[in-house]
Amino acid sequence: MARKKDLNVKKEVPATWKEALQEFLFWKQAQGLSERTVKDYQTHVTILFTRFPEAFSPKKLQLGVLEHMSQPVKPATFNLRLVNLG
């Protein structure tokens, strides 16, 4: 029986949230997600980091996401944010 080989790719951490998002979207496209799903990820992550640019800092990410998720929005909007950011 052949052993499964792990793929370990070492690379630099993206310098900006836009670079990190682009890499994430490429990864999701490679997984075969629909164009609509990839677009939804792009939209919701962009909204988060546009409203809370300091959230790209590891120390402030949790606070930015919590603040974004705690905004008074309709249940459908909350659920979309939860699915795309969770």
Q: Does residue 8 sit within a domain?
A: no
Q: How many structural domains does the chain have? A: 1
- pLDDT of res. 2: 61
Q: Does residue 75 sit within a domain?
A: yes
Q: Does residue 26 sit within a domain?
A: yes
Quick check: 1 pLDDT over 90? no
Provide the domain limits for residue 50. Answer: 17-85
Per-residue pLDDT of 68-82, as tens digits, reads 999 999 999 999 999
Q: Does residue 12 sit within a domain?
A: no
Give the torsion sign (CA, 9, 64, 69, 47): negative
Q: Does residue 7 sit within a domain?
A: no
Q: Does residue 5 sit within a domain?
A: no
Per-residue pLDDT of 9-49, as tens digits, reads 667 889 999 999 999 999 999 999 999 999 999 999 999 99
Q: Does residue 9 sit within a domain?
A: no
Quick check: 3 pLDDT over 80? no
Give the largest Cα separation in the chain, rounded. 55
Q: Does residue 76 sit within a domain?
A: yes
- pLDDT of res. 7: 64
CA dihedral 73, 78, 84, 85 (to 10 degrees): 80
Prediction pTM value: 0.80
What single DSSP character describes residue 11? -
Alpha carbon distance 42, 22 (integer Å): 8
